[in-house]
Amino acid sequence: MNLRAFAATAHLVALLHNGLGMMKLDKHEHEKCGRVAPTQRQSRAANDSRTATATPSTTGRIFNGKPSKRGAWPWQVSLQLLHPKMGFIGHWCGGVLVDPMWVLTAAHCIHNELFNLPVGALWTAVVGEWELDSRRRGSARLPVERVIQHERFNNYVHDIALLKLVRPAPLSSMVRTICLPDKDVRLQEQAHCVASGWGRSGPSPALSTALLEASVPLLELEDCEIAYGQTVPIRGGHLCAGHTDGSTGSCVGDSGGPLQCRRANGDWELAGVTSFGSGCAQPGYPDVYTRVKHYVTWIRDTIRADRNS
């Protein structure tokens, strides 16, 4: 082999080595919780009234919210239901990928006034979606193996549940896990928090096609005690957030989805799981979330017990 051929071969080996190194780095990056890849340009469908019920001119909320950028919330899950009597319903609630094998959601999505269906075979977790049911490249439909509700769930207290997937979610730039809160670290008072979901985006009963988002402020628990204390006991496992002027709010179909807050280092952590509210952005009524920090031990113990069983 002459020097020129040797140099070319060495250059090719170096390129392959660097490429493989970059691939490994990307894979490692996918495995880090709370990291978001650079968002991709938004599909025209987000601004097309034929395919999305929200428009960019509307206010920044889920009810009349604005479409998020594709890949902005890669841990967002659509929980879809096959009802034993009514057949396939499709999107029923939101969920959050907290581990490649586990989705966190609200217990009332599983057990409510209409049904009690803690049966894994009836649920499908859809990850990597942005435009609901588009089945675009990067998304995956994952069967659920097991549903575990909090053993003390009642009347939106301990409103939390875990769903174990049949196989791990395929982590990528479009599918990632979110960080669970550190019990010993408090979020900054002015932390940037965003709620997301495919729930109703306006007066129409139809769900949003595009994944919507809304920036919401964290409130004192007393604000929710005043608003809901007569109907739902507000406890330490609740988190109060949102505007009280009726300009923002979660709505039907958003339950179980994430309230994500940005840490000082730029990573996102799961502060809350959408639990209940006034309906859809009623003045004087903020939204109530399940405070995830209150349940970190339960989440980790539940996953550990399953792995050891």
Could you tell me if residue 56 is left (phi over 0), alpha (psi between -120 and 50 degrees) or otherwise beta? alpha
Active-site residue, from 30, 91, 108, 243: 108
Catalytic residue among 78, 91, 159, 250: 159
- The Cβ-side half-sphere exposure at 104, using a 13 Å CA radius, reads 33
One-letter amino acid for residue 203 of the chain:
P
Annotated catalytic residue within 43, 139, 196, 255: 255
Distance CA 90, CA 253 (A): 11
173 is known as an active-site residue? no
Beta strands 123-127; 76-83: pairing state: antiparallel
The answer to whether residue 255 is catalytic is yes
User: Beta-carbon neighbour count of residue 173 at 10 Å?
Assistant: 18
Q: Give yes or no: 159 in active site.
A: yes
What dihedral do alpha carbons 122, 125, 129, 130 form, nearest 10°? 80
Burial environment of residue 84 by CB neighbours within 10 A (0 to 12, 13 to 18, 19 or more): exposed
> What is the token pair recorded at 71?
């890949």
Tell me the C-alpha to C-alpha distance, in Å, between residue 262 and each of 53, 259, 271, 287.
Answer: 27, 10, 9, 19
Residues 6+ apart with CB under 8 A from 137: none
Q: Which residues are catalytic?
A: 108, 159, 255
